[in-house]
Structure 1
Amino acid sequence: MAAAIAMADADGIGAVSMRAVATALGTGAGSLYRYLTARDDLLDLMADQVAGELAPFPAAGGDWLDGMLLMARGQLDLYRRHPWLVEVLPRPTALGPNSLAWFDHCLAILHPVPSATTAKFEAIAMMTGVVSLFARSESAAPPPGFDGIDMTAYPHLIAAFTAPPSPRRDLFDVTVRSVLRGLLSQD
């Protein structure tokens, strides 16, 4: 796993193949197939290995929303250290012990919330989705500007771009808290 993770960290997930990992280990790809049936197995193991970096988890028992925000921030930091995760995690995956420990701890933090278990699962999944969107946008190239475009037909955009800036807020914090509150509120 260490060789495959180092490869992905350095050159992206596209650089990771059974043959490339075997070469890095000084062996043939056939020897890896004794332990793994396909590249997807390798990707699952890589994702679970780096999920171990999320531990130690913040203590459960305080404010559940603050605890979940800490879990989300841990995920975001993990994505920053391993940008290839945003490409690996959306595919169907087998969860390993590190991923299960993270998920279990999220449920421990959410224990005092009087929502149904399915709502808690959905909230954890949506939080993970929000984290991956923030991570993906951080690693993406900036959008092209509006140079050469006549903006007079777009008065609302002109007003938005020329308005005084609003006070800076932590959009990540606001988004994660809003998603979790919205999904776990009791009507």
Structure 2
Amino acid sequence: MADAQPIWNRPARGARGPAPSHSRAEIVAAAIAIADADGLPAVSMRAVAAKLGTAAGGLYRYLSSRDDLLDLMTDRAVGELEPYHDTSGDWLDHLVALGRAQLDLHRRHPWLADVIQRPSAVGPHALSFFDRCLGVLAPLDAPTSAKFEAIALMTGTVVLFSRSAATGPNPFAGLDPTAHPHLAAALANPSDPGRQDLFDHALRGLLRGLLTP
């Protein structure tokens, strides 16, 4: 059975057993390397142990389960958003910049979208990210609930765009839209110089709608 305490509140290794040959940080780094190369399903205690040149059973001196490992991987990845830049100036510009940094993070680690919204994955770096976002939003006269909703929806938008065809090839390529006149008209003139960055445009519209009168 997995430990009832969050992984963040437990020692980095068990008190029993021989001296550690690897740190928790090394285990997490190995797991992230596997996930980046081969996807999240490839991450197992056995695969991580093999990458470190040790026995899978030895990892249980550091972790109680694969879920612990996924939580640590998630928070380590979120930590790549740090250090944060100064939050003075326009709140919307700063929050969109944080969203853009999130999107870049998800593109570096495509597996992150599958684990980021697990309740157990909210660790120290995730708390720092929420705190920074709330700091950016502090000058706004908006309910706290609306601010939390905006941060959550910003992350949801990041996940959507990290997975969406909007960031990749045209999903209509090779299809004949002539039987669908509205789609055909739109595809005939797809460019809009004012909206080259769909992510930026969508996120700004969402945040304004949620947080301003």
TM-score by length of 2: 0.79
Q: Does residue 89 of structure 2 align to residue 95 of structure 1?
A: no
CA–CA distance in 2 between the matches of 1:143 and 1:20?
35
Paired residue for 1:35, among 49, 62, 76?
A: 62
Q: Does residue 173 of structure 2 align to residue 145 of structure 1?
A: yes
| 8 A contact 2:74–2:121 mirrored in 1 | no
For 1:75-126, what per-residue CA distance to the aligned partner results, in whole angstroms no more than 9, with x for missing partners?
Answer: 0111111111112213333311111111111111110011111111100000
Letter in 1 for 2:162: A
Runs of at least 5 residues in structure 1 that lack an aligned partner in the other structure: none
Runs of at least 5 residues in structure 2 that lack an aligned partner in the other structure: 1-27
Q: Does residue 173 of structure 2 align to residue 154 of structure 1?
A: no
For 1:7-41, what per-residue CA distance to the aligned partner results, in whole angstroms no more than 9, with x for missing partners?
Answer: 11111111111111111112222221222222111
* 2:19 alignment partner in structure 1: none
Q: Helix, strand or coil for the counterpart of 1:27?
A: coil
CA–CA distance in 2 between the matches of 1:119 and 1:13?
33
CA–CA distance in 2 between the matches of 1:34 and 1:140?
42
CA–CA distance in 2 between the matches of 1:137 and 1:104?
28
Letter in 1 for 2:188: T
CA–CA distance in 2 between the matches of 1:25 and 1:55?
27
Letter in 2 for 1:49: R
Q: Does residue 158 of structure 2 align to residue 126 of structure 1?
A: no
For 1:154-181, what per-residue CA distance to the aligned partner results, in whole angstroms no more than 9, with x for missing partners?
Answer: 2222222223633252211111111111
Q: Once structures 1 and 2 are overlaid, which stretch shifts more, 124-133 or 81-90? A: 81-90
Q: Does residue 23 of structure 2 align to residue 3 of structure 1?
A: no
| 8 A contact 1:60–1:109 mirrored in 2 | yes
TM-score by length of 1: 0.89
Q: Once structures 1 and 2 are overlaid, which stretch shifts more, 27-36 or 79-88? A: 27-36
Paired residue for 2:74, among 47, 59, 65?
A: 47
Q: Helix, strand or coil for the counterpart of 2:159?
A: helix
* 2:86 alignment partner in structure 1: 59
Letter in 2 for 1:26: G
Paired residue for 1:85, among 103, 112, 121?
A: 112
| 8 A contact 1:23–1:29 mirrored in 2 | yes
RMSD: 1.9
| 8 A contact 2:36–2:109 mirrored in 1 | yes
Q: Once structures 1 and 2 are overlaid, which stretch shifts more, 34-43 or 138-147? A: 138-147
Aligned-pair identity in percent equals 58
Displacement after TM superposition at 1:127 (Å): 0.4
| 8 A contact 1:115–1:185 mirrored in 2 | yes
